[in-house]
Amino acid sequence: RMTAEEARTVGSRTLYVRGGTEALERVRAAAERGLEATAGAQAEQEPALQVAARRPRPDRPYGFLSFSSHEAAVASLALLAPGSNGGSLSPTIAGSPGAEVYWAHNDMGTEETRPPRPGMTEAQARDSSTLYLSLGSGDRTTRADAARTLATDALCRLLGGDGGDAPDPDDPALAVELRRPPADVAYAFLEFPSHAAACLALEDLVGSRDGGDLGGLPGAALFWARGGQGLKVPHPAPRDCWFCLASPQLEQHLIVHVFERCYITMPKGPLDPFHCLIVPIAHTNSGALTGDAADEMENVKERLRRFFQAKLGKELFVFERAMETRGGYHTHVQCIPCAPSVAKRLEPALRGLANRCRFPLREVTSDLSLTPLLATEETGAPRGYFYAELPVPVGEPRRMLHVAGEGERARVPLQVGREVVAEALGKPEMVQWKQCVLVKEEETRSAEEFRTLLMEYL
């Protein structure tokens, strides 16, 4: 028999029950009722209220109860027996006198004593963006916050964010919300912006899209929660957008030139002193190169290409990641000048990244618009895409396209273009845009210089 202190030390989630088959089942049912009562209003969404019962052999007068966590076992034992170490069970609970309950090691009765995997498989949770978090033993607030941080870091890393920093204001698709029931219980919920985001984080953290033990937080586990719909992140109004000209969030000192339908601006954390963005003036999250400003943006892009070649002796690398980020997204095209020695390394870097992230690329050989290539067969509606123009020594740039939905388990990192350029430069630290941010005075001077030199090409 283990004491409560010994059980806490080893993280036991198993109770030994001495009694017949009927007693074991009655005690199991009483334990589940107690957990449901503790969960209160969250009971409908709590996937780990199950208590598994097992009797090693039918003729043995004892069995085992297994719980989802040590904390759940503690709470149940407090309801079943008079002391934290266990003891005699009331006949009202067990159905007969003489029944007892005590702590047991988790491996008592082999693997079958462990509770069934709580919650749903990923296939059963297609509409859920909520994960159930079993906290295990320890300070619950600290562990819940730590789990949220692990999930956020995973999304930032997998989607090419800021290397584990808190999500940027314009990237709510990386936000993970922690929700805890009002009662002091050993579980919580993590809400993700989408089912896909929850899948990515779950597979990275536990090694399975169906859930399992949380490796970065011993004793904790993550599984799908029933009915969770995740964060409802609305598309921002223009006042909240970093690229809308009327928005207070716009950093006007970065703007180089404004045209009729689009404008040129410098980014935060440029990869080159003349790294710039072409941004449609109208707020839209559909592809810039397929929207109403597409013709003008094409013209501006060609002027930039001539400017970089004539003034800087550099080639233009163009890319657009036109994929839904569920809020905060104002479509734009990135234009990065690259020295010839760097330009020739862009295609191998892009293809290597595509292979690692499993997103198929196809070369666009037609001069026609991208729009027909993006239309869905059923409705004709455009799909998201990643598009790149790779400079070549002679002739027109090589055009590469990935269409959202193509490729099994494909993902296109948020910072895909930065990753390609950083690899071509041999400077992996430049993937993190915050490592390249200039002070406002330097940004202002760079924009003014860019504006002056570019003027004759506009």
Q: Give the pLDDT band of residue 113 (cuts 50, 70, 90).
A: very low
Calculate mean pLDDT across residues 429-444.
91
* Measured CA distances, 58 to 35, 180, 393 (Å): 27, 41, 79
Say what the pLDDT of residue 173 is: 58
Contact 223, 131 (CB under 8 A): yes
Q: In what order do the strands lie in the sheet with 14-18?
A: 52-54, 62-66, 14-18, 100-104, 86-88
Say what the pLDDT of residue 278 is: 96
pLDDT beyond 80 at 192: yes
Q: Is 11 left (phi over 0), alpha (psi -120 to 50) or beta?
A: left
C-alpha 417/C-alpha 160 separation (Å) is 10
C-alpha 24/C-alpha 99 separation (Å) is 9
pLDDT beyond 80 at 204: yes
pLDDT beyond 70 at 346: yes
* Measured CA distances, 206 to 43, 202, 219 (Å): 24, 6, 12
C-alpha 324/C-alpha 390 separation (Å) is 24
Say what the pLDDT of residue 103 is: 86
* Burial degree of 194 (CB within 10 A; 0-12, 13-18, 19+): middle
Mean pLDDT lowest for which of 287-296, 310-319, 336-345, 373-382?
373-382
User: What mean pLDDT value characterizes the chain?
Assistant: 79
Give the percent of the chain with pLDDT over 70.
Answer: 79
* Burial degree of 363 (CB within 10 A; 0-12, 13-18, 19+): exposed
Mean pLDDT lowest for which of 84-98, 103-117, 169-183, 221-235?
103-117
- Reference 213, options 101, 117, 307, 123; nearest CA is 117
Say what the pLDDT of residue 106 is: 62
DSSP summary character for residue 423? H
Say what the pLDDT of residue 378 is: 58
Amino acid letter, 347: E
C-alpha 187/C-alpha 286 separation (Å) is 39
Overall residue count recorded for the chain in this entry: 458
Calculate mean pLDDT across residues 53-57.
72
C-alpha 426/C-alpha 442 separation (Å) is 24
- Reference 26, options 91, 75, 83, 86; nearest CA is 91
Say what the pLDDT of residue 285 is: 76
- CB crowding 78-102: b at 16 or more within 10 Å, else e: eebbeeebbebbeeebbbeeebbbb
Q: Which has more confidence, 186 or 268?
A: 268
C-alpha 349/C-alpha 384 separation (Å) is 22
Token representation of residue 139: 């300070």
Contact 447, 455 (CB under 8 A): no
pLDDT beyond 60 at 380: no
Say what the pLDDT of residue 389 is: 95
pLDDT beyond 60 at 61: yes
Q: Which has more confidence, 50 or 413?
A: 413
pTM of the model: 0.50
Calculate mean pLDDT across residues 129-136.
83
Partners of residue 319 on adjacent β-strands: 334, 388
